[in-house]
Structure 1
Amino acid sequence: MGYRLQEIRKTLSQTGLDGILITKPENRRYVSGFTGSAGLVLISQHSAKLFTDFRYTEQAAKQAVGYEVIRHGTTQETNLQTMLAKAIAGEQLQTIGFESDFVTFQAYTTLKKNLPHCTLEPVELDHLRMVKDEAEIRLIQRAVDIADTAFTHILSFLKPGITEYEVALEIEHKMRQLGAEKPAFDTIVASGTRGSLPHAMPLPNKKLTYGEFVTMDFGAVYQGYSSDITRTVVLGRANAKQQELYNLVLKAQLAGVQAVSPGKTCSEVDYAARSIIEQAGYGKFFGHGLGHGVGLAIHEEPRLSPSNETMKLVSGMVVTVEPGVYLPDWGGLRIEDTVLVSAEGSKVLTASSKLLIELE
């Protein structure tokens, strides 16, 4: 974690801040190693402090190596705000950065009240997590492998008559058996006409029917790191329109993967896939970005979208590539891989086949 502290202190120097408060769980874990659900980090040029309560002090002492762990209580004299104010006063810190994209207005008001002699400045830290080190990539790969195995398993489970909810439950159960801490997000299962809903939640009363597309979007969390996969299969034989749209989305997805490489802007990668769908006349039915970063959060920077014209990909980033076509009252499909940006270009971490699977 030492080099991550150095990055925070570099941010202090660049911004002229005396200290930075870190409250976003992903960033708190990234800089300290602490995995508890409650805690606040204060970093200055000379110290690194982690504030937490009785439930986590022992855990924090083991995980947050190099940090001073400060236990706060519930009384006026020992609560978090009082202990934080004492620590800031003790170091004579004047200008404090806070994560304005995460801190609520109420929390900000409380900080202002308890730190009357400090100036609070917004600071953004998520960019520090964009480029993954080798250890992070290994954890993401393990999360990807778990999701891949769950997909292979679910193919033998799918059949007409079972519900979308049962499919989601089986996927999540299998990922847990394989070592996942939890699903990376609420599992998406959309069958038939519901496939036109990109983020359809599985319904307990929607049964799979012969001849339908079934889109499944899910991921695993392994030691904090997430994976993301989407596959669309058909129960029975695909009809001509299903084959046409599947081949179109697959062509776009492969083009998007191929476009992933260091130096490419996020909008260029998005366009590589989007242009194929647009040229086929389905552009208005692909209404979301091509992909997003994956790591300690399931959705993080960089975002592969038409509007992200200046951010360039860097070796070590991990992104999803997930084009789709969604036709109201007909259905839709999406194909998604988790992809590593490498020095040589793109490395697809997802191993599951992308050929159209027809389940007889």
Structure 2
Amino acid sequence: MFLNRLENVYKIMEQEGLSQTIVSDKNALFYLYGKWFNVGERMIALLLRIDETPILVLNDLFSFEDKDTKIVYFNDKESGPDKLLPYIIHHKALGIDKFFPSRFLISLMNLHAASAFKTCMAIDYARFVKDMDEQKLMIESSHINDLCMEDFKCALRIGMSEKEMQEECYKIYKKHGIDRVSFTPIVAFKATAADPHHEPDDKTILEAGDMVLFDVGGVYKDYCSDMTRVFFTAEPTAFQREIYNLVRRANEEAIKHIKPGVALKDIDKIARDIIDSAGYGEYFNHRLGHFIGIEDHDFGDVSLSSDIIAKPGMIFSIEPGIYIKDKIGVRIEDLVMVTKTGVKVLNEYPKDIQVLDLK
């Protein structure tokens, strides 16, 4: 177990007024143990009690050893909640993470396992701030994504379909030692990029003059990358250039203002105001960014409704976009890390307009 990470979780539990909580989210368990637990539909519950040995209740089909954890096994003839019950302090409130299945929670409630059951986000708040090991992995993950983006660009050819290019993305990631993607690669030709979550198809064929959008990410040593770039296959029209440069300015101005102590909702507003003042506000229809790490979308976002204050070690995306149906879609996305004095952009792939001479 990463004891420094556990201590951070304990501190946040105390701030939430909780002395005990259950963690069942497989991503949170990986964060604490550096090991993936794939237990299917069976219960897994890590009971954290401040200043006491963590207790992991686990089906005996999945053996595990950790010197800092007490392991309690149950089998398929036994009830997981029943096994967990003796270790819960019944006269105190019990925190529950966001993924603990309701069927197990209801069983604990019926057993009167605690005086109250409360949502506990301590593990998620702890994961907001990446430690030095995580930061190094995120920097390398984004570096590899930069290299892959260049290869994606070079793999484009007139006459190929979006689906064919998507398959090339998987091959290119594998060439760079990446066996798992952060999410299904988004490849959009023409105006299909006006759908922020477009699913590549076999029918949309790349033709000379098309714009191409890549929204892609790979997983390096269990940490995700994510980046979006747009390429041109002919000299952009005045309208295309206007939209592209506007989105780029929103991206870069927002990044300039990131530093410790700044409210993330204010960062969203900076980018949104730039696009809105140019008359395209209605076409920027999503939040500015999301947190990222073990998951492509870690808990937390950069939006007008966010109450998060930037702290050193936080890593999130900055991805403004303009989407005009049947006309154009442009998004430019970078991952950024808050530093002690400002911000570090993890993606180094250029954002200049690139016109490709494709065959």
Match of 1:112 among 109, 113, 122: 109
Which residue pairs with 1:201 in the alignment?
A: 199
Match of 2:77 among 71, 75, 91: 75
Which residue pairs with 1:262 in the alignment?
A: 260
Which residue pairs with 2:158 in the alignment?
A: 160
Aligned 8 A contact 1:289 1:304 in 2? yes
Distance 1:118 1:313, change over 3 A: same
Which residue pairs with 1:66 in the alignment?
A: 68
Paired letter, 1:319: F
Distance 1:166 1:115, change over 3 A: farther
Match of 2:303 among 281, 305, 308: 305
C-alpha displacement of 1:175: 1.7
Aligned 8 A contact 1:17 1:97 in 2? yes
Which residue pairs with 1:217 in the alignment?
A: 215
Task: Structure 1: state its 5+ residue gaps.
Answer: none
Which residue pairs with 1:2 in the alignment?
A: 3
* Correspondence 1:247 to 2:245: yes
Which residue pairs with 1:19 in the alignment?
A: 20
Runs of 4+ in 1 over 6 A off after TM superposition: none
Distance 1:245 1:115, change over 3 A: same
Which residue pairs with 1:85 in the alignment?
A: 85
* Correspondence 1:49 to 2:55: yes
Query: How does the TM-score come out when normalised to structure 2?
Result: 0.91
- Distance in 2 between residues matched to 1:180 and 1:111, nearest whole Å: 41
C-alpha displacement of 1:235: 1.9
C-alpha displacement of 1:164: 0.9
Paired letter, 2:87: A
Match of 2:149 among 151, 165, 184: 151
Fraction of identical pairs, as percent: 28
Aligned 8 A contact 2:320 2:333 in 1? yes
- CA displacement 1:146-168 (0-9 Å, x = unmatched): 21111111111111211111212
Aligned 8 A contact 1:289 1:305 in 2? yes
Which residue pairs with 2:356 in the alignment?
A: 359
Paired letter, 1:67: T
Distance 1:203 1:42, change over 3 A: same
Paired letter, 1:349: L
Distance 1:44 1:150, change over 3 A: same
- CA displacement 1:122-170 (0-9 Å, x = unmatched): 2112111111111001111121122111111111111121111121221
Match of 1:317 among 305, 314, 318: 314
Deviates more, 1:262-271 or 1:333-342: 262-271
SS in 2 for 1:186: coil
- Distance in 2 between residues matched to 1:354 and 1:259, nearest whole Å: 18
- CA displacement 1:229-285 (0-9 Å, x = unmatched): 001111233222211211111111111111111111112111222211111111110
SS in 1 for 2:155: coil
- Distance in 2 between residues matched to 1:316 and 1:195, nearest whole Å: 32
Aligned 8 A contact 1:19 1:93 in 2? no
Length, aligned pairs only: 350
- Distance in 1 between residues matched to 2:16 and 2:322, nearest whole Å: 43
C-alpha displacement of 1:104: 4.2
- Distance in 1 between residues matched to 2:253 and 2:162, nearest whole Å: 30
Which residue pairs with 1:233 in the alignment?
A: 231
Which residue pairs with 1:96 in the alignment?
A: 94
Paired letter, 1:162: M
Query: How does the TM-score come out when normalised to structure 1?
Result: 0.90
- Distance in 2 between residues matched to 1:145 and 1:135, nearest whole Å: 16
Paired letter, 1:334: R
